[in-house]
Structure 1
Amino acid sequence: MRKGYVAMATVPITIEVDAEVARIYTEASPQDRLRIQMLINLRLQEFIAHPPRPLGEVIEEISARVSERGLTKETLESILRDEE
């Protein structure tokens, strides 16, 4: 076991992946499978700790920033009309 690595209790789960990913995983050596499992575990932990923001929330934030800087909905529509 690697220095600094703490083994944690694990629980098997089933996830859907594309056929190529499944093939590569099933053909991988036990050592490579363990590496893949560790990478997936870390990535899922990151996702849980920092989930992506909903698109609506991002749009509202951008809209608020734009309004704070003086770009109104009417000004934006005018700019877009001029581009046509």
Structure 2
Amino acid sequence: MKSIASDTSQKTLTIKSAAVMEFAQHVGSKKMVHEVAREDVHAWVEALRASGLQTPTLVNKTSYLRGFFEWAVQGS
């Protein structure tokens, strides 16, 4: 989050951070980033859908998670 903080509003940082943390809680804190599979993301989205979230919210959350993974890939 520090890498995007200077170009991002505090509200947006909070929202993006929350989405990434929610995903991390879903897959478990012991799973390393390189161990995350497409099926993990799918299961998370299905859990969010089952909780009653609407499609626009799901799209936003998955977009924030995708941004995190793109950042992680660039750093490796």
Structure (1 or 2) with the greater helix fraction? 2
TM over 0.5: no
Report TM bin, short chain: 0.3 to 0.5
Structure of higher RCO (CA pairs closer than 8 Å, 6+ residues apart): 2
- Looking at CA atoms only, which structure, 1 or 2, has the larger radius of gyration? 1
